[in-house]
Structures are given as C-alpha cells and as structure tokens.
C-alpha cells in the first residue's frame, strides 16, 4: 500500500506544462522513452549492487570462494558494460530520429529570435512577428530556425521536443510537432542575464483548418517590432 502511494506521489511531480515525461509530440515522446529506458538500465545496475550488499549482510562469507578477479570482470565490467552499451545504441538511434531531416511532408518553418529577455517569432512569407507566443498547426512537423542575436540563449519546449542553443551569428534548427491542439510552455534554458527567469513563452497549436486565420489575427494584433531590437544584417 505504501509503495504504490509513494510511486503515485513521485510521478505526480512529472506532470505539468514543462514536463518531459508528459509528451505531446513525437520528438518529446522519443525523449521520454529514452529517459525511461535509461532509468530502467540504471535501476538494473543499482538492483544488482544492492542485492550483492544484502547477501553480504544476510549471509556473511557468501561469495568468499569466488576469486576477486571474477567479481571485477563479471560484476564490475561485463554486466555494466552490456547495459551501458545497449543504452548507448538506443540513445544514438533515438537521437537520429530527432534530427530535422529535410523532406518531411507538410513541413512548416518558422523563426525564433531571442533577445534579453523576450522571444520574437516570425513566419516566412508574412509581415510582422509575434512576441512570447509561437503559433503552429497541430499534427504537422515544424522546423524552428533559432537565430542567435545578442547573447547565448536556448530554445526549449519540453512537451514537444528537446532544446537547442541560440548562438549569436548562428542559425540552429530543431523540429517539433504537437500531436493535438493546445498550449505548451517554453523557456530559455540557458542563463542569459538578470531577466533569464522571466524569459518564457508559449506555443499554441491550432487545428490545421484554423491555423491560417489564427495566425493572421495574431499578427494583426501584434505590435510592430522595435527597430532598435532588429538583428544586425
């Protein structure tokens, strides 16, 4: 009774708008799966160590006849090596699926420009920009071109995918997708100055049939960007 209750309380802290364990898109789902698989691997190694410690206390002298070299080879090298190698292969395969490969059907591209301490989002082919809110269509892959401006920032929407750095003079691209309409929290995940803690934003995923109209409305209501905050050519 106590164990399930403790597990429920522990997992309740894994929810929320910034939780990587509450994925709402394929990239975030892959990240969450990788987290669970790595947790399982770490738990297997921990369980073996604790079992050996328990035997040592409960049955003094147990294993004394086993040569120390065998303990080191099988317990210290073979078992962790097999588990960690399997985790590495799985992590590399998962990471490959997260890359923004060209040619995805229905691909939408947007630009994210961070400034101290706000986010500006632009939509190629359209005039204007939105601040602190990124509008995307649900159910479609989105390539976010994160354009470095003043200092190093990091773009992160935990429920939709991983994070990527915004480095001045560079453009880094990350692919996100929201499986369903909704509002998802995003943050700057790199300390960038005194206003870093407040440098958050939202991603609103609209039903595909309503996306164009919602974006037009958001751009019409957005204030014109300040010329002093435009990136240098």
Q: How many domains does the chain have?
A: 2
Say yes or no to pLDDT of 231 above 70: no
Say yes or no to pLDDT of 95 above 50: yes
pLDDT of residue 164: 92
The reply to whether 122 and 214 lie within a common domain is: yes
Find the mean pLDDT for residues 109-113. Answer: 94
Q: How does pLDDT run across 34-90, given as a tens digit for each residue?
A: 889 889 888 888 888 888 888 878 887 776 777 878 878 887 788 888 888 888 888
Residues 189, 137, 202, 17, CA torsion sign: negative
Q: How does pLDDT run across 123-156, given as a tens digit for each residue?
A: 988 889 999 999 999 999 999 999 999 999 999 9
Whether 142 maps to a domain, the answer reads yes
The reply to whether 122 and 217 lie within a common domain is: yes
Say yes or no to pLDDT of 91 above 80: yes
Residues with Cβ within 8 Å of 16's Cβ and at least 6 positions away in sequence, in order, are 22
The DSSP symbol for 17 reads T
Largest CA distance in the chain: 79
- Give me the CATH number covering residue 153: 2.60.40.420
Residues with Cβ within 8 Å of 179's Cβ and at least 6 positions away in sequence, in order, are 24, 25, 26, 138, 139
Domain range holding 24?
20-98
The reply to whether 196 and 129 lie within a common domain is: yes
Cβ atoms within 10 Å, residue 58: 8
Find the mean pLDDT for residues 95-114. Answer: 78
Average pLDDT, whole number, for the chain?
Answer: 83
**Phi, psi at residue 169, to the nearest 5°?**
85, 0
pLDDT of residue 21: 86
Question: What strands lie across the sheet with 129-131, from one edge to the other?
Answer: 129-131, 118-122, 108-115, 142-147, 171-176
Nearest to 133 by CA among 202, 219, 200, 189: 202
The reply to whether 48 and 147 lie within a common domain is: no
Domain end (from 35, 63, 98): 98
Say yes or no to pLDDT of 230 above 60: no
The reply to whether 37 and 70 lie within a common domain is: yes
The reply to whether 158 and 197 lie within a common domain is: yes
* Percent of the chain at pLDDT exceeding 90: 41
Whether 8 maps to a domain, the answer reads no
Find the mean pLDDT for residues 191-205. Answer: 93
The reply to whether 176 and 214 lie within a common domain is: yes
Whether 103 maps to a domain, the answer reads no
pLDDT of residue 211: 93
Whether 11 maps to a domain, the answer reads no
The reply to whether 112 and 81 lie within a common domain is: no
Q: Could you give the angle at the alpha carbon of 197 between the alpha carbons of 133 and 231, nearest 5°? A: 55
């Amino acid at each position: 009774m106590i164990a399930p209750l403790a597990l429920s309380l522990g997992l309740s802290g894994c929810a929320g708008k910034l939780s990587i364990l509450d994925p709402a898109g394929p990239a975030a789902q892959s990240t969450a799966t990788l987290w669970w698989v790595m947790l399982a691997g770490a738990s297997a190694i921990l369980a073996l160590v604790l079992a050996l410690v328990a035997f040592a206390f409960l049955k003094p002298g147990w294993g004394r006849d086993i040569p120390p070299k065998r303990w080191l080879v099988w317990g210290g090298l073979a078992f962790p090596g097999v588990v960690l190698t399997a985790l590495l292969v799985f992590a590399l395969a998962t990471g490959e699926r997260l890359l923004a490969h060209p040619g995805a059907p229905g691909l939408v591209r947007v630009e994210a420009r961070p400034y101290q301490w706000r986010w500006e989002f632009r939509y190629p082919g359209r005039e204007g920009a939105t601040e602190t809110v990124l509008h995307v269509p649900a159910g479609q892959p989105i390539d976010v071109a994160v354009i470095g401006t003043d200092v190093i920032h990091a773009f992160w929407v935990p429920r939709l995918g991983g994070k990527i750095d915004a480095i001045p003079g560079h453009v880094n691209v990350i692919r996100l997708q929201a499986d369903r309409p909704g509002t998802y929290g995003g943050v700057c995940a790199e300390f960038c100055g005194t206003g870093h803690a407040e440098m958050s934003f939202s991603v609103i995923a609209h039903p595909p049939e309503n996306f164009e109209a919602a974006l037009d409305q958001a751009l019409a209501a957005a204030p014109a960007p300040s010329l002093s905050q435009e990136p240098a050519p």
